[in-house]
Chains A and B, each alone.
Chain A
């Protein structure tokens, strides 16, 4: 068999296979019973800037930006948000973000104090860890503008959080979203047997 014929066969076979794959991909999106059809498939998470939908792929700068997946490799995963467990990442010192613009050795003032908020209804009570929050933030970021630093002085509801107030100033925007119920509502209620 001549080289030309061989190559033609290879070419035809490759074309056939890729056309089949392409048809399969095109058909998968039309499948009314596709699994998790309204959810973002994991392959499309952490999209690079040029295909993330809010960067203009025709801007030269877009192509110079770091793709998130490159930065996130090796960081602990989570189920929502950026799909990164940011708190664990700094706890395990996989990331050491600066606490001061210029001084890389400045350390946060960490307060290890849990606040338990007993909630109405059947959800487990909320345990608020000052420790995790003070690793990222300064006291003045929250007190007194968002939370009055006094027991019982703060009315918090899920409605206000969903509207971007109280915990919702960060959670639901940049800190883990409100769909992660049990990360806050983490202490089961004590059931009175009497």
Chain B
């Protein structure tokens, strides 16, 4: 009982702090270079894929995927589906239970926030060009109304 009250107080305090931290403005702060792939995922009832560039470049040089495995320098540029991966192409060259964990760990890749379109997160194109095009489209819709 001696520690009962103190730990209760601590728990409540931590609770209040967590609520306060959650009140801070939150925007997507994922890693620079994280790629979201949603060409086929959500249409097939899975969450979008998040590919962490930072995690992979710690283990492999760019040449391995972009040279040897044929990955284009473009998000969504390879039309990758699970058939190709099971066939050992693209992600499947490593994610086969040999070099890296195998494809039965669906949610390790398919862990993206629903409704996130294909993109290179935080990229200049994403921040400037896509936004400019969206603004343009918005203005055009407003004018036509």
Given the known A-B contacts A136-B63, A173-B120, are A61 and B9 also in contact in the complex, defined by CB atoms under 8 Å? no
Q: Which of A10, A14, A72 has the most chain B CB atoms closer than 10 A to its own CB?
A: A14
- Roughly how many angstroms separate A168 CA and B124 CA in the complex, as a whole number? 9
Q: Check B20–A21 contact: CB distance below 8 A.
A: yes
Chain B residues within 8 Å of A99, by CB:
61, 63-64
B140 an interface residue at 8 Å Cβ cutoff? Answer: no
Given the known A-B contacts A138-B63, A172-B124, are A54 and B113 also in contact in the complex, defined by CB atoms under 8 Å? yes
Chain B residues within 8 Å of A61, by CB:
105-111
Report A53-80 CB contacts with B as 1/0, cut-off 8 Å: 1111001111011101001100000001
Interface segment among A38-46, A120-128, A186-194: the answer is: A38-46
B44 an interface residue at 8 Å Cβ cutoff? Answer: no
Question: Interface residue count for B (Cβ, 8 Å)?
Answer: 68
Which of these, A44, A84, A140, contacts B67 with CB under 8 Å?
Answer: A140
- Roughly how many angstroms separate A126 CA and B120 CA in the complex, as a whole number? 26
Given the known A-B contacts A163-B129, A164-B125, are A53 and B63 also in contact in the complex, defined by CB atoms under 8 Å? no
Which of these, A29, A53, A62, A95, contacts B23 with CB under 8 Å?
Answer: A29
Given the known A-B contacts A22-B17, A59-B107, are A169 and B73 also in contact in the complex, defined by CB atoms under 8 Å? yes
Question: Interface residue count for A (Cβ, 8 Å)?
Answer: 68
Report B38-65 CB contacts with A as 1/0, cut-off 8 Å: 0000000001001011110111111110
Chain A residues within 8 Å of B116, by CB:
54
Interchain Cβ contacts within 8 Å, total number: 194
Which of these, A26, A53, A141, contacts B30 with CB under 8 Å?
Answer: A53
Give chain B interface residues in 68-104, CB to chain A under 8 Å.
Answer: 68-69, 73, 93-94, 99
Looking at the assembled complex, report how far the CB atom of A30 sits from the nearest CB atom of chain B, in whole angstroms.
10
Chain B residues within 8 Å of A178, by CB:
124
Given the known A-B contacts A22-B19, A97-B58, A97-B61, are A7 and B107 also in contact in the complex, defined by CB atoms under 8 Å? no
Which of these, B12, B50, B60, B124, contacts A173 with CB under 8 Å?
Answer: B124
- Roughly how many angstroms separate A45 CA and B106 CA in the complex, as a whole number? 27
User: Residues on B close to A: CB < 8 A?
Assistant: 1-2, 4-6, 8-10, 12-13, 16-17, 19-21, 23-34, 36, 47, 50, 52-55, 57-64, 66-69, 73, 93-94, 99, 105-114, 116, 120-121, 123-125, 128-129
Q: Which 5 A-B pairs have the closest CB atoms?
A: A61-B107, A53-B28, A172-B124, A7-B5, A22-B20
Complex A-B: 6 CB contacts under 8 Å: A10-B6, A29-B23, A52-B28, A53-B26, A55-B113, A101-B64
User: Residues on A close to B: CB < 8 A?
Assistant: 3, 7-8, 10-11, 14-15, 17-19, 21-23, 25-26, 29, 40, 44-47, 49, 51-56, 59-62, 64-66, 68, 71-72, 80-82, 84, 86, 95, 97-102, 108, 135-138, 140-141, 162-164, 168-170, 172-174, 177-178
